[in-house]
Structure 1
Amino acid sequence: MSAVTLPEGDWIRGISIRQPYAACILAGAKTVENRPARWRTGWVLLHTSKTIDRTALRTPLVDRTIRDRQLVTGSVVGIARITDCHQDPAGAPLCSEWAFQDAWHLVLADVQELPLPVPARGQVVPWKPTPDLLARVFQQLPDFRP
């Protein structure tokens, strides 16, 4: 397995997402993540928070998406690229069935799930991963090219 040559500088951030929503993103169904503030576009590590939204487990949209998926917490479980960040105009239809009114919608693409979760600490706000964490994540994605 060859090592991935990663760009220098501030090219990737971490985003912490509660389960089961992270599992829905990894399944390819949830392509919009809701946030209270604008985010920049670019690559993000998908990190799962330590808590699970138990209420969300009972919603049909989530239930049918995560069936038979493990809800890993406290780990980086994949990567994705934020291609857009927007708010839908008041009164307009939402851009996705996963979107919330009055939230910033992070549009996710190029989602790749890690074969093995990498335990890590995240934060509510965009966070900068350590070089060691990036090395452990991208060791599992030898074909990744930013």
Structure 2
Amino acid sequence: MDLPSRALSIRQPWADAIVYGGKHAENRGWAPPSTAIGAPLLVHASQHPIPGALPANVTAAWPGTLGAIIGTVQLTGVHRATGGCCAPWGEPDAWHWELTQPRPLPDPIPCPGRLRLWTPPPQVLQQLAHATPTASAASVPYHDAHTPYIRAVTKALVALGVAIHDWDTMPDDPRTTHITLDTGPATAAYGDADVGLLWSEESGWAIAWDTRESGRYSALADLGTDVLPTPQAVAELARDALTTRPAPLRGRWATYRDFGDNDDLADRLTIYHDEPHVRRSTKPPF
């Protein structure tokens, strides 16, 4: 990557929201200099957080690092807030800094922050020169770009005690995933039904089960409205849905985006692109 020469100090949880949570607009009372537009920017997490700025279930899976540079973004533009733009992150009466390509550093680099844009000291820049941020979206084939994210979800599920039998990613349009869960005490709310987790880049996550012993899922329930929640959030939603079976959908699985949308999904997926192995398989039994 190009070594950024400027840093911006941002209070938590907003710094993590930019690097890990898809926050694509930073609200400021001032515009950056024109020379900063189109250049990479260091994200520095300030020493003092803002308690309660986001719900705990949103921030639980984020590192919450304080007083350190935690990642980089590309500053692609800036504009004044108009008509509720940049939802849900944009605030009225502010300059919206347009951010893309968030990439966490493997290890945060501790250093004090400053107001406005600032240049890190030489020793910090030297550490940055040896850092290796996560791969860019262009370095991973489009139809495999979701696989590292799914792998991170499976690890989070296992860490919470949700047993997995198998999982597959499908390089289709839209891209999809099927995770087969092992039946046992964790799935007692579903009796003898087969239970699995489904993901689509258009609809996000759902839990599905077979109510007719047909070998195909016949009931499905949404797990949230974000198509790319953090792996920890997915694991917690799945664990809760396994404990108390949710009411099945009566209509179609909701869609929140189209696979052809020009949005920030590709950038959000790059956070997980440090795992090289990719799996392919067939469509899920739904």
**TM-score of the alignment, normalized to the shorter chain, above 0.5:** yes
Between stretches 70-79 and 22-31, larger displacement belongs to: 22-31
Question: What is the identity, as a one-letter code, of the residue corresponding to 1:80?
Answer: V
Label 1:129 to 1:100 Cα distance change in 2 as closer, same or farther (>3 A): same
Q: Count how many residue pairs are aligned between Structure 1 and Structure 2.
A: 132
Label 1:134 to 1:118 Cα distance change in 2 as closer, same or farther (>3 A): same
Q: Is the 8 A contact 1:27 1:66 kept in 2?
A: no
The alpha-carbon deviation at position 142 of structure 1 amounts to 7.2
Counting strand residues as a fraction of each chain, which structure ranks higher? Answer: 1
What is the aligned partner in structure 2 of residue 17 from structure 1? 10
What is the aligned partner in structure 1 of residue 149 from structure 2? none
The 5 A counterparts of 1:1-146 are: 12-39=5-32, 40-41=36-37, 42-58=39-55, 63-89=56-82, 92-141=83-132
Question: What is the identity, as a one-letter code, of the residue corresponding to 2:24?
Answer: T
* TM-score, normalised with respect to structure 2: 0.42
Question: What is the identity, as a one-letter code, of the residue corresponding to 1:109?
Answer: T
Deviations 1:12-41 (A, max 9, x none): 211000001111111142111111100131
The alpha-carbon deviation at position 144 of structure 1 amounts to 8.1
Identity among equivalent pairs (%) = 30
Structure 2 unaligned segments of length 5 or more: list them.
137-286
Spell out structure 1 runs of 4+ moving beyond 3 A. 142-145
Label 1:107 to 1:64 Cα distance change in 2 as closer, same or farther (>3 A): farther
Counting helix residues as a fraction of each chain, which structure ranks higher? Answer: 2
Question: What is the identity, as a one-letter code, of the residue corresponding to 1:20?
Answer: P
Label 1:85 to 1:142 Cα distance change in 2 as closer, same or farther (>3 A): closer
Distance in 2 separating the partners of 1:17 and 1:48: 5
SS, match of residue 56 in structure 1? coil
SS, match of residue 92 in structure 2? coil
Distance in 2 separating the partners of 1:33 and 1:142: 21
Distance in 2 separating the partners of 1:139 and 1:95: 34
Larger Rg: 2
* TM-score, normalised with respect to structure 1: 0.80
